[in-house]
Amino acid sequence: MSNGLRWGVLGAGGIARLQVSDMQQHGFTVTAVGSRGLDTAQKFADEFGIPKAYGSYEELAADPDVDAVYVATIHPTHAEVARIALEGGKHVLVEKPFTMDAAEARSIVDLAASKNLVILEAMWTRWLPHMVRIRAILAEGLLGDVRAIHADHDQNNEGNERMYKRELGGGALLDLGIYPVSFAWDVFGAPSSIQAHATLTDAGVDRETAIILGYPSGAHAVMHTQMSGTGPNRAAIVGKKGRIEIEPVWYNVVAFTRYDDQNQVVERFDEKVGGRGMHFQAAELESIVASGRLEGDILPPSETIAIMETLDTIRDIIGLTYP
């Protein structure tokens, strides 16, 4: 699956552990890790048998033995850290949300293009087997005219202090709501209308947000996200000829069932992969680099920017602002 790029990881937290674990399990080469402190980086390197540890992002970005970088820092720092990696001449995979807003996203994408480097949003769900099959079903027209998407991402994150702090990019929308919003973009493309309602905490971040995206065809994507309670975390795509119901937690490696318009099961998809499947997004970046292109077809940078614009509009509607 790997095309042989040598990876560095910027950030040594939980999401970095998940990504590196999947990459190593599937034969990718992780050669360096960088953090804001050498002790943290070295502990991470020791845990995963990574040869090099750096106490700054700039040091890793300057390493000639690193070809691509995975940015795993908290999202208020994504733009800054991605810029450091790009200035160091590295291809970059950036955790979602890609940046804090569309303006930041656009500046990073423009920088990557100016340096002829690949930059990719790490929306790992896009490349999971069940999502690949769902796109094929939609392309074949097996659901007929698709009229609706229903998706939620509701978790109880009350123990996660960062998510309750404005200065750290807290709130449900950017951490959790990004998943259903990106899913709607994957299926329907650009919305023609955006509605939202939220409940904000005393600190000014959204505890829960409901979203309806409308489309020129009259179809709708109906979504909910919250960080104070665990929901069903299912997703469904409804067409005139049938529907797809994705099991919880729908953005992970899970099964789905396709029904016809008489409510009869016509397909059951349940493909297993090792780990969480986060290696697929690293494989996508490596494939793009190997092809000599700067973007792939599944999530080009222009769509990442447009998704951030949708999130910006939702934030404007609900009054969610950041320092």
* pLDDT tens digit sequence for 153-195: 999 998 899 999 999 999 999 999 999 999 999 999 999 999 9
| Mean pLDDT value across residues 273-293 | 97
Our answer to whether residue 96 is catalytic in this structure is yes
CATH 3.40.50.720 spans which residues of the chain?
6-125+277-292
Q: Provide the sign of the torsion angle of the four alpha carbons 48, 28, 293, 185, taken in this order.
A: negative
CA torsion angle for 129, 297, 222, 224 (degrees, to 10)? 70
- pLDDT tens, 77-103? 999 999 999 999 999 999 999 999 999
pLDDT exceeds cutoff 70 at 319: yes
Band (276; pLDDT cuts 50, 70, 90): very high
Band (1; pLDDT cuts 50, 70, 90): low
Helices 178-188 and 129-139, axial angle in degrees (round to 10): 30
Task: Using alpha carbons, select from 278, 255, 291, 252 the residue that is nearest to residue 26.
Answer: 278
- pLDDT tens, 228-240? 999 999 999 999 9
Query: Could you tell me what percent of the chain has a pLDDT over 70?
Result: 99
CA distances from 276 to 210, 249, 250 (A): 27, 12, 12
Q: CB count, 10 Å around CB of 243?
A: 20
For the domain bounded by 6-125+277-292, which CATH number is listed? 3.40.50.720
Identify the pLDDT of residue 139: 98
- pLDDT tens, 94-136? 999 999 999 999 999 999 999 999 999 999 999 999 999 999 9
- Angstrom distance (rounded) from CA 160 to CA 310: 25
Task: Using alpha carbons, select from 300, 280, 290, 299 the residue that is nearest to residue 67.
Answer: 290
Identify the pLDDT of residue 194: 98
Identify the pLDDT of residue 284: 98
Please determine, looking at this structure, whether the domain spanning 129-272+307-318 carries the CATH number 3.30.360.10: yes
Identify the pLDDT of residue 235: 98
Identify the pLDDT of residue 2: 67
Identify the pLDDT of residue 162: 94
CB 302 within 8 A of CB 183: no
DSSP string for residues in 162-216 = GGG-GGGT-SHIIIIIHHHHHHHHHHH-S-SEEEEEEEE-TTSSEEEEEEEEE-T
CB 275 within 8 A of CB 22: yes
The identity of residue 52, as a single letter, is: K
CATH 3.30.360.10 spans which residues of the chain?
129-272+307-318
E strands, the chain, are 6-10, 29-34, 52-54, 68-71, 91-95, 119-122, 146-154, 193-200, 206-214, 220-226, 235-239, 242-246, 256-260, 265-269
pLDDT exceeds cutoff 80 at 3: no
Which residue in the list 43, 52, 96, 165 is annotated as catalytic?
96
Whether this prediction's pTM lies above 0.85 is answered by yes
Identify the pLDDT of residue 189: 98
- Angstrom distance (rounded) from CA 68 to CA 8: 6
